[in-house]
Amino acid sequence: MMPLIELKNISKSYSDGDVETPALSDISFAIEQGEFVAIMGPSGSGKSTLLHILGFLDGQTKGEYFFGGKKMGDYSKEELAHVRNKEMGFIFQSFNLLPRTTVLENVKLPLFYSKIKESSWDRIAMDAIEMVGLAHRANHLSSQLSGGEKQRTAIARALVNSPQVIFADEPTGNLDSKSGGQIMEFLEKLNDMGHTIILITHETYTAEYSKRIIHLKDGKIESDKKVDHDHRRRGKDHFMK
Amino acid sequence: MTIGYTFKTAVIGLKTHKSRSALTILGIVIGITSIILVMSLGEGMQNLILGQIQGQVGSRVIEIAPGKQPKGPSDFMSMFSDSLKQKDVDALSKKGNVPYLSRIMPMVFGSESAAYGNETYQATFYGMTDAAGSMYNLVVDRGRFLAEDDVKSYADVVVIGSKVKEELFANNENVIGEKIKIKGKNFRVIGILEKKGASLISFDEAMFVPYTTAQQYILGIKYFNHIIIEADTDEHVEQTVEDIKRTLRNTHDITGSEEDDFNVSSQADALEMVGTVMNIITLFLVAVAAISLLVGGVGIMNIMLVSVTERTREIGLRKAIGATEKNILFQFLLEAVILTGLGGLIGIILGSSLSALMAFILGKVLSLDWQFAFPLSGAILGFGVAALIGLVFGLYPARQASKKSPIEALRYE
């Protein structure tokens, strides 16, 4: 079977005038449909850059990126936006909810840019909100929510278009450990439902929820290992404390 | 993506900054208000002036003046030349020459002081015939107007305007039959005109004598200052003007219009000219008001740019979850157009109310016959221009928004 995501010798460098700063060099890996992958590394290791490339938010300098078997360079700008809308969900460290807007409206936002009929938006959005257990908060403004609830809203927003892959960029970074644990449980549940999850983190205990960990260092892959069952247990124990 | 939802999104975007949105559209509101005000007042003024002309002189009246159509200051003196004579009146009176002529009246005029006892008053006098009464809609308050016999017999009689009566006779009401002195000659007052009020030709301050008497005893001339002709119907006015020109060229031995020593103008010409002048003035004022719209547009652009910077994160998020550049462009453009459109709407309401108020004040205080005219064309134009300004001045900020890179936008704190 064709992998969902395949990177071939991806490099990325930022140029600031004459100085070239490499962020990623020669990255190659593949992710199959239904995987739960954590990308780890210290700050400056290039993990955010990698996520941006994977999420079609940025382009690479060198190499080839295939998503669903199609080369990224073959997509037009409009098509990239449509793929982001339909096949990808994003969860950010800082939630990125619209201020002064209700939970329901926030979750509906991706539907606005989709081809789904407006008459079914409310139902689809409510299903997603119920899934993250926020039905009672649907009409609250995003500013009235706790950190954990905000991130659950963001998760509902990420899965409202039932995307193939969900990118989570340090989703527990701004949360206390209890809420953080809840968020990780949700991601695990989504993975069980068949969504591919790509998690960016620098915390080992968060990464240990995943089934595979890719370590980055100085823009290169340091290691790429499957997580055994015991380690997965350990990540959960951290949050249970 | 649907228009309705985009509209809702834009409205929410604007609502979150109510006072800023309100201040932003102030420039547009002022601009549209002044345009509506100028157009409405212009139309009202035009109606007033045209109404006065039509009310004073019947629409079938054609005026023949000596000299060619004045085109510059040097032509002005020719208006007082002596080219219009009795033989012209005779020729014009012939049915064969001017078939649709219903009445003809020679006219002379000048300015002379009239005296009664110790009172004197400098007044305009018109030498006319009995036809003047109906041609100029003159209403006699007391006594009678000039009669055919007065003209034939060179009678020393005068009909005076209400202002002349007041100046010479003050509160004395027994005026009919009294004698006033004009240029050393006694004239018996036979009638007083009803007060006409403010108008283009001030009949209140005028005296009317038979033209024969005026020629002989006041002016000492044999020619006429004007010849007034009335066509039988409105439809025949144009034809009659042509007939008059042909007849006069014939009697004056003139071959082409270049050599004309007279000019013929109908009521329609005068109305058209006044209308043109008024339109030019209105247009000029509208152009001045439009400058404030331009300033308002720059204000919109300024605020939209601030808004785009402030909402960088929102834009980034929208792009990340699938908004295309077109979506973002459309959203911000719509916000600008809603802003200016709303400004236009408020301006139209404000401008109309103000001009209605002005119409009321002018009518009550100055007792002018001023009708409020809602300038529908102005309202449509104003709204269109306002929306267009939103489109033009919103385009640059909206483009800036749509070009934002999502990662930079998401990183922005």
Residues of B in contact with A161 (CB under 8 A): 322
Query: Is the pLDDT higher at B81 or at B208?
Result: B208
- Which domain CATH number covers A41? 3.40.50.300
Cβ–Cβ of A84/B2 closer than 8 Å? no
B312 at interface of A, judged by CB pairs closer than 8 A: no
Helix/strand number for chain B, H first, E second: 13, 10
User: What's the pLDDT band for B200 if we cut at 50, 70, 90?
Assistant: low
Residue A13 lies in a domain: no
| Mean pLDDT of the region B112-140 | 87
How distant is the Cα of A124 from the closest Cα of chain B, in angstroms?
15
Which of B5, B325, B407 is closest, CB to CB, to A58?
B407
Q: Total structural domains in chain A? A: 1
| Mean pLDDT of the region B357-366 | 83
A112 at interface of B, judged by CB pairs closer than 8 A: yes
A-proximal residues of B, 322-361, CB under 8 Å? 322-327
The count of other CB atoms within 10 Å of the CB of residue B285 is 17
pLDDT score, position A240 = 63
Give the chain B residue whose CA is nearest to the CA of A49: B407
User: Rounded to the nearest 5°, which phi and psi values hold at B329?
Assistant: -55, -45
pLDDT over threshold 70, residue A234: no
CA–chain centroid gap for B109, Å, is 27
Cβ–Cβ of A101/B12 closer than 8 Å? yes
Mean pLDDT of the residues in chain A? 89
Tokens of B183: 């240029």
Tokens of B24: 């932003």
pLDDT score, position B270 = 76
DSSP B105-152: EEEEEEEEEEEETTEEEEEEEEEE-TTHHHHTT--EEEE----HHHHH
Tell me the C-alpha to C-alpha distance, in Å, between residue B300 and each of B27, B322, B349, B389: 9, 28, 21, 9
pLDDT over threshold 90, residue A199: yes
Query: Is the pLDDT higher at B47 or at B206?
Result: B206
How distant is the Cα of B19 from the closest Cα of chain A, in angstroms?
16
Cβ–Cβ of A113/B325 closer than 8 Å? no
Residue A4 lies in a domain: no
> B261 and B66 in contact (C-beta within 8 Å)?
yes
B16 at interface of A, judged by CB pairs closer than 8 A: yes
User: What's the pLDDT band for B211 if we cut at 50, 70, 90?
Assistant: very high
> A156 and A189 in contact (C-beta within 8 Å)?
no
Cβ–Cβ of B319/A114 closer than 8 Å? no
User: What's the pLDDT band for A233 if we cut at 50, 70, 90?
Assistant: low
| Mean pLDDT of the region B163-192 | 88
pLDDT over threshold 80, residue B151: yes
| Mean pLDDT of the region B389-401 | 92
Tell me the C-alpha to C-alpha distance, in Å, between residue A8 and each of A27, A67, B65: 7, 12, 97
Interface test with B, best of A47, A90, A98 (most B CBs within 10 A): A98
Cβ–Cβ of B405/A58 closer than 8 Å? yes
| Residue A108, domain extent | 35-48+82-240
Which of A57, A99, A113 is closest, CB to CB, to B323?
A113
User: What's the pLDDT band for A221 if we cut at 50, 70, 90?
Assistant: very high
The count of other CB atoms within 10 Å of the CB of residue A135 is 13
Q: Percent of chain A at pLDDT above 90?
A: 61
The 8-class DSSP code of residue B98 comes to S
- Ramachandran area for residue A102 (φ above 0: left; ψ -120 to 50: alpha; else beta): beta
User: What's the pLDDT band for B196 if we cut at 50, 70, 90?
Assistant: confident
Question: Per residue in B245-254, pLDDT tens?
Answer: 889 888 888 8
Mean pLDDT of the residues in chain B? 85
Residue A11 lies in a domain: no
pLDDT score, position B393 = 92
Residues of A in contact with B12 (CB under 8 A): 100-101
Give the chain A residue whose CA is nearest to the CA of B317: A96
pLDDT score, position B80 = 63
Give the chain B residue whose CA is nearest to the CA of A58: B407
B319 at interface of A, judged by CB pairs closer than 8 A: yes
Which of B313, B322, B406 is closest, CB to CB, to A82?
B322
Residue A10 lies in a domain: no
B313 at interface of A, judged by CB pairs closer than 8 A: yes
CA-to-CA distance for A24 and B407, rounded, in angstroms? Answer: 16
pLDDT score, position A7 = 93
- Locus of tokens 């009995």: B130
B280 at interface of A, judged by CB pairs closer than 8 A: no
pLDDT over threshold 90, residue B293: no
> B199 and B54 in contact (C-beta within 8 Å)?
no
A120 at interface of B, judged by CB pairs closer than 8 A: no
The count of other CB atoms within 10 Å of the CB of residue A222 is 12
DSSP chain A: ---SEEEEEEEEEEEETTEEEEEEEEEEEEE-TT-EEEEE--TTSSHHHHHHHHTTSS--SEEEEEETTEEGGGS-HHHHHHHHHHHEEEE-TT--PPTT-BHHHHHHHHHHTSSS-GGGHHHHHHHHHHHTT-GGGTTSBGGGS-HHHHHHHHHHHHHTT--SEEEEESTTTTS-HHHHHHHHHHHHHHHHTT-EEEEEES-HHHHTTSSEEEEEETTEEEEEEEPPHHHHHHHHHHHH-
Lowest model confidence (mean pLDDT) among A103-107, B132-136, B370-374: B370-374
Residue A165 lies in a domain: yes
The count of other CB atoms within 10 Å of the CB of residue A221 is 20
Cβ–Cβ of B317/A98 closer than 8 Å? yes
Which of A55, A81, A101 is closest, CB to CB, to B323?
A81
User: What's the pLDDT band for A28 if we cut at 50, 70, 90?
Assistant: very high
Lowest model confidence (mean pLDDT) among A195-199, B234-238, B390-394: B234-238
User: What's the pLDDT band for B372 if we cut at 50, 70, 90?
Assistant: confident
- Locus of tokens 């993990």: A47
B410 at interface of A, judged by CB pairs closer than 8 A: yes
How distant is the Cα of B323 from the closest Cα of chain A, in angstroms?
6
Question: Per residue in A97-110, pLDDT tens?
Answer: 988 889 999 999 99
User: What's the pLDDT band for B395 if we cut at 50, 70, 90?
Assistant: very high
Cβ–Cβ of A96/B2 closer than 8 Å? no
> A134 and A148 in contact (C-beta within 8 Å)?
no
Highest mean pLDDT among A226-230, B275-279, B363-367: B275-279
> A22 and A13 in contact (C-beta within 8 Å)?
yes
pLDDT score, position A50 = 92
User: What's the pLDDT band for B285 if we cut at 50, 70, 90?
Assistant: confident
Tell me the C-alpha to C-alpha distance, in Å, between residue B39 and each of A101, A145, A222, B34, B373: 43, 54, 76, 8, 9
The 8-class DSSP code of residue B372 comes to P
Residue A158 lies in a domain: yes
The 8-class DSSP code of residue B96 comes to T
Residue A57 lies in a domain: no
Tell me the C-alpha to C-alpha distance, in Å, between residue B261 and each of A169, B68, B90: 94, 5, 18
A52 at interface of B, judged by CB pairs closer than 8 A: yes
pLDDT score, position A29 = 94
> A65 and A6 in contact (C-beta within 8 Å)?
yes
Question: Per residue in A44-102, pLDDT tens?
Answer: 888 888 999 999 988 888 999 999 888 988 899 899 999 999 999 999 988 899 888 89
The 8-class DSSP code of residue B311 comes to T
> B86 and B179 in contact (C-beta within 8 Å)?
no
